[in-house]
Amino acid sequence: MSHADRLIETEHRLGAHNYKPLDVVLTRGAGVHVWDTEGRRYLDCLSAYSAVNQGHCHPGILAAMTEQAAKLTLTSRAFRNDQLALLYEDIAALTGSHKILPMNSGAEAVETAVKAVRKWGYEVKGVPENRAEIIVCADNFHGRTMGIVGFSTDPDARTGFGPFAPGFVTVPFGDLDAFRAAITENTVAFLVEPIQGEAGVILPPSGYFPAVRTLCTRHGITLILDEIQTGLGRTGKLLAEEHEGIEADVTLIGKALSGGFYPVSAVLSNSDVLGVLKPGQHGSTFGGNPLACAVARAALKALTQEGMIDNAERMGARFKAGLGALRSNLVAEVRGRGLMLAVELVPEAGGARRVCERLKDRGLLAKDTHGHTIRIAPPLVIREEEVDWAVDQFAAVLCAA
């Protein structure tokens, strides 16, 4: 039994089986590449679900992390630390946010926003107590907490976990009429992903978000964009909202906010929504800790000062064009924006999982979703020759007779 096989066997025996990973045991990463325990190198085309946009073990983030870890890691918010204000300043300068609330995981940022908009609804909008409604989209993905899975439409995510919290209304993504029809005087927020990631990289119809923005403004509805996956350069812009020419009232970021070193998320608020939270009404032991702040500042600096966002746009276009030009009767569609891409296979392809296994054998790691979709999201530091090599691997797997 190899070392890797032993580790896999132990995981299987001792771990809960809530994931079914590809059987590749990674031990090292640098930039766009990761290495397994046998020394084989892979091109990472998942980037830990876009948490590693800056590339694995980015040296600038690593330096910030080790330096801060040797100085001060955690104070809790019972006391102040000298890093939090600096992170606030950096985020505000970059995004124009007026208020920021730091958390850890993405799901916590979503939960925080849900709590804040409900309170805002009662205290500012005047919604009767316990009547606040939040509109969400079918096929959404916002995380795994009890609150969030309660408004998921994915049977795997929710079946068997009820009862769930009320107050959520579901409409199809991209359907403006359905959104308009769902609005009531108790609607406090619309929570939506700019591009549905876990659903398989589903883009909205053009004009949808500008019209949503107009309706939200007209009806006093807080527009919450969950940019935990689409944000921080993934789509070729700092935030995906820029593609739509709109501004959210509340923006959620996470994942790449730490470049994959540490869970760091944040709620960014453009309106007075976060203003309703008073001392003692929300918090997190680790949220806003000095280590997280130092890491996040370095992660944002790497993104913005090393040309990664422009690179995502250019390499994404190249990757998409390369995949689109594949002469394969197994490919139904190639879609996406920037380096958030998906290849949709025809049912005869035998499933995306099988294709991902074959790509893995050729040194490329990508993730299947929903049976027939392969998601492609390499670190934003990927170079032309690496994109071309990746396209060649797809060609070898999908174009073989």
Closest CB to ligand PLP belongs to which residue? 106
Phi, psi of 231, deg, nearest 5: -80, 180
Among 254, 288, 290, 338, binds ligand PLP (CB under 6 A): 254
Q: Tell me how far the alpha carbon of residue 378 is from its chain's centroid.
A: 13
Q: What's the 3-state SS for 64-114?
A: HHHHHHCCCCCCCCCCCCCCHHHHHHHHHHHHCCCEEEEECCHHHHHHHHH
Q: Which is nearer to ligand PLP, 197 or 260 (CB)?
A: 197
- Residue of 255, 320, 360, 367 marked active site: 255
Q: Tell me how far the alpha carbon of residue 178 is from its chain's centroid.
A: 25
141 binds ligand PLP (CB under 6 A): yes
Considering only residues 27 through 86, tell me which ones interact with ligand PLP, judged by CB under 6 A: 49
Catalytic status, residue 255: yes
Q: With contact defined as beta carbons under 8 Å apart, do 229 and 252 qualify? A: no
- Residue of 141, 286, 319, 394 marked active site: 141
CB of 255 to ligand PLP, least distance (A): 6
Considering only residues 82 through 111, tell me which ones interact with ligand PLP, judged by CB under 6 A: 105-107, 110
Among 44, 90, 133, 226, binds ligand PLP (CB under 6 A): 226
Q: Which is nearer to ligand PLP, 229 or 373 (CB)?
A: 229
Query: What would the two tokens of residue 108 be?
Result: 């916590």
Q: With contact defined as beta carbons under 8 Å apart, do 95 and 304 qualify? A: no
Q: Which is nearer to ligand PLP, 95 or 251 (CB)?
A: 251
Q: Tell me how far the alpha carbon of residue 210 is from its chain's centroid.
A: 22
Catalytic status, residue 319: no
Q: How far is CA 152 from CA 10, 138, 143, 219, 233, in A?
A: 32, 7, 9, 25, 26
Question: Please, is 362 exposed, middle or buried when counting C-beta atoms within 10 Å of its C-beta (0-12, 13-18, 19+)?
Answer: middle
CB of 12 to ligand PLP, least distance (A): 23
Of the candidates 308, 310, 300, 236, the one whose C-alpha atom is nearest the C-alpha of residue 266 is 300
Considering only residues 273 through 302, tell me which ones interact with ligand PLP, judged by CB under 6 A: none
CB of 283 to ligand PLP, least distance (A): 17
- Residue of 44, 179, 209, 226 marked active site: 226
Catalytic status, residue 141: yes
Q: Would you tell me which residues interact with ligand PLP (CB under 6 A)?
A: 49, 105-107, 110, 141-143, 193, 197, 226, 228-229, 254-255
- Residues annotated catalytic, as ranges: 141, 226, 255
